[in-house]
Structure 1
Protein backbone atom coordinates (compact mmCIF):
# COMPACT_ATOMS: atom_id res chain seq x y z
CA UNK A 1 0.00 0.00 0.00
CA UNK A 2 2.88 2.38 0.63
CA UNK A 3 4.60 1.70 -2.67
CA UNK A 4 4.79 4.61 -5.07
CA UNK A 5 4.93 3.76 -8.77
CA UNK A 6 7.19 5.86 -10.97
CA UNK A 7 5.26 6.15 -14.22
CA UNK A 8 8.30 7.53 -16.02
CA UNK A 9 9.97 4.16 -15.62
CA UNK A 10 7.28 2.41 -17.66
CA UNK A 11 8.50 1.43 -21.12
CA UNK A 12 6.90 3.33 -23.97
CA UNK A 13 6.84 0.91 -26.85
CA UNK A 14 4.24 -0.75 -28.97
CA UNK A 15 1.76 0.47 -31.51
CA UNK A 16 -0.22 3.61 -30.67
CA UNK A 17 -3.62 1.92 -31.39
CA UNK A 18 -5.29 4.74 -33.33
CA UNK A 19 -8.54 2.82 -33.84
CA UNK A 20 -9.05 2.16 -30.14
CA UNK A 21 -8.15 5.74 -29.25
CA UNK A 22 -10.45 7.12 -31.95
CA UNK A 23 -13.29 4.95 -30.66
CA UNK A 24 -12.75 6.14 -27.10
CA UNK A 25 -12.54 9.81 -28.00
CA UNK A 26 -15.51 9.45 -30.36
CA UNK A 27 -17.62 8.08 -27.51
CA UNK A 28 -16.73 11.10 -25.37
CA UNK A 29 -17.29 13.70 -28.08
CA UNK A 30 -20.54 12.09 -29.25
CA UNK A 31 -21.75 12.11 -25.64
CA UNK A 32 -21.09 15.85 -25.47
CA UNK A 33 -22.83 16.32 -28.84
CA UNK A 34 -25.81 14.32 -27.56
CA UNK A 35 -26.07 16.50 -24.46
CA UNK A 36 -25.84 19.70 -26.51
CA UNK A 37 -28.40 18.34 -28.99
CA UNK A 38 -30.71 17.45 -26.09
CA UNK A 39 -30.51 21.03 -24.79
CA UNK A 40 -31.23 22.37 -28.28
CA UNK A 41 -34.25 20.09 -28.73
CA UNK A 42 -35.79 20.39 -25.25
CA UNK A 43 -35.09 24.01 -24.33
CA UNK A 44 -34.85 25.77 -27.67
CA UNK A 45 -37.36 23.74 -29.72
CA UNK A 46 -35.01 22.46 -32.42
CA UNK A 47 -36.50 19.56 -34.42
CA UNK A 48 -33.47 17.32 -33.89
CA UNK A 49 -32.51 14.70 -36.45
CA UNK A 50 -36.18 14.13 -37.33
CA UNK A 51 -36.24 17.61 -38.87
CA UNK A 52 -34.02 16.56 -41.77
CA UNK A 53 -36.10 16.53 -44.95
CA UNK A 54 -39.20 17.94 -43.28
CA UNK A 55 -40.35 21.41 -42.36
CA UNK A 56 -37.51 21.63 -39.83
CA UNK A 57 -35.31 23.10 -42.52
CA UNK A 58 -31.73 23.86 -41.60
CA UNK A 59 -32.27 23.24 -37.90
CA UNK A 60 -32.41 19.49 -38.52
CA UNK A 61 -29.16 19.66 -40.43
CA UNK A 62 -27.61 21.56 -37.52
CA UNK A 63 -28.09 18.50 -35.31
CA UNK A 64 -26.45 16.26 -37.90
CA UNK A 65 -23.59 18.75 -38.27
CA UNK A 66 -23.13 18.71 -34.50
CA UNK A 67 -22.51 14.95 -34.54
CA UNK A 68 -20.23 15.22 -37.58
CA UNK A 69 -18.18 17.90 -35.84
CA UNK A 70 -17.96 15.67 -32.76
CA UNK A 71 -16.49 12.83 -34.85
CA UNK A 72 -14.07 15.21 -36.55
CA UNK A 73 -12.90 16.52 -33.18
CA UNK A 74 -12.31 12.95 -31.97
CA UNK A 75 -10.19 12.11 -35.01
CA UNK A 76 -8.29 15.39 -34.69
CA UNK A 77 -7.49 14.71 -31.04
CA UNK A 78 -6.13 11.26 -31.84
CA UNK A 79 -3.95 12.32 -34.74
CA UNK A 80 -2.57 15.48 -33.14
CA UNK A 81 -1.57 13.93 -29.82
CA UNK A 82 0.95 11.13 -29.25
Structure 2
Protein backbone atom coordinates (compact mmCIF):
# COMPACT_ATOMS: atom_id res chain seq x y z
CA UNK A 1 0.00 0.00 0.00
CA UNK A 2 1.35 3.42 -0.97
CA UNK A 3 1.58 6.14 1.63
CA UNK A 4 -0.02 9.56 1.41
CA UNK A 5 2.51 12.27 0.62
CA UNK A 6 -0.05 15.08 0.85
CA UNK A 7 -3.38 15.11 2.68
CA UNK A 8 -5.70 18.10 2.43
CA UNK A 9 -8.83 17.99 4.56
CA UNK A 10 -11.69 20.50 4.54
CA UNK A 11 -9.42 23.33 3.34
CA UNK A 12 -11.08 26.73 3.54
CA UNK A 13 -9.55 30.06 2.51
CA UNK A 14 -11.44 33.32 2.78
CA UNK A 15 -10.20 36.82 1.98
CA UNK A 16 -11.52 40.12 3.26
CA UNK A 17 -13.57 41.87 0.63
CA UNK A 18 -12.39 45.21 1.92
CA UNK A 19 -9.74 46.00 4.49
CA UNK A 20 -11.42 49.34 5.16
CA UNK A 21 -14.98 48.11 5.81
CA UNK A 22 -14.76 45.16 8.19
CA UNK A 23 -18.53 44.66 8.12
CA UNK A 24 -18.51 43.41 4.51
CA UNK A 25 -18.62 39.66 3.92
CA UNK A 26 -15.43 37.74 3.22
CA UNK A 27 -14.81 36.34 -0.24
CA UNK A 28 -14.91 32.54 0.01
CA UNK A 29 -12.25 31.20 -2.38
CA UNK A 30 -11.65 27.61 -1.19
CA UNK A 31 -14.74 25.94 0.26
CA UNK A 32 -13.98 22.67 2.04
CA UNK A 33 -11.48 21.12 -0.39
CA UNK A 34 -10.31 17.60 0.51
CA UNK A 35 -7.98 15.25 -1.37
CA UNK A 36 -4.94 13.00 -0.97
CA UNK A 37 -1.86 12.51 -3.12
CA UNK A 38 -0.12 9.16 -2.72
CA UNK A 39 3.50 8.30 -3.33
CA UNK A 40 4.27 8.08 -7.07
CA UNK A 41 1.04 9.78 -8.11
CA UNK A 42 0.97 12.77 -10.50
CA UNK A 43 -1.75 15.38 -10.07
CA UNK A 44 -2.92 18.19 -12.34
CA UNK A 45 -4.97 21.13 -11.11
CA UNK A 46 -7.29 22.56 -13.73
CA UNK A 47 -10.15 25.03 -13.71
CA UNK A 48 -11.51 28.32 -14.93
CA UNK A 49 -9.73 31.59 -14.31
CA UNK A 50 -10.42 32.79 -10.78
CA UNK A 51 -11.64 29.44 -9.42
CA UNK A 52 -8.91 29.15 -6.73
CA UNK A 53 -6.09 27.12 -8.33
CA UNK A 54 -3.36 29.59 -7.33
CA UNK A 55 -4.86 30.07 -3.87
CA UNK A 56 -4.87 26.29 -3.38
CA UNK A 57 -1.20 25.99 -4.36
CA UNK A 58 -0.15 28.99 -2.26
CA UNK A 59 -1.94 27.50 0.73
CA UNK A 60 -0.43 24.03 0.25
CA UNK A 61 3.01 25.63 -0.25
CA UNK A 62 2.60 27.59 2.99
CA UNK A 63 2.85 30.96 1.26
CA UNK A 64 -0.66 31.67 2.53
CA UNK A 65 -2.40 30.39 5.67
CA UNK A 66 -5.71 28.55 5.43
CA UNK A 67 -8.76 30.03 7.14
CA UNK A 68 -9.60 26.51 8.30
CA UNK A 69 -8.78 22.91 7.51
CA UNK A 70 -5.71 20.69 7.68
CA UNK A 71 -2.76 20.17 5.36
CA UNK A 72 -0.41 17.29 6.09
CA UNK A 73 2.84 16.73 4.21
CA UNK A 74 4.51 13.37 4.80
CA UNK A 75 2.18 12.87 7.78
CA UNK A 76 3.08 16.16 9.51
CA UNK A 77 0.58 18.96 9.99
CA UNK A 78 2.09 21.92 8.11
CA UNK A 79 0.65 24.41 10.62
CA UNK A 80 3.15 22.99 13.15
CA UNK A 81 6.24 23.31 10.94
CA UNK A 82 8.64 26.16 11.77
CA UNK A 83 12.28 27.08 11.19
CA UNK A 84 14.60 24.21 10.28
CA UNK A 85 11.73 21.70 10.12
CA UNK A 86 10.06 23.84 7.48
CA UNK A 87 13.26 24.09 5.42
CA UNK A 88 13.70 20.30 5.37
TM-score by length of 1: 0.27
Q: Which has the higher helix share?
A: 1
Q: Which has the higher strand share?
A: 2
When Rg is computed on C-alpha atoms for both structures, the one with the higher figure is 1
TM normalised by structure 2 equals 0.26
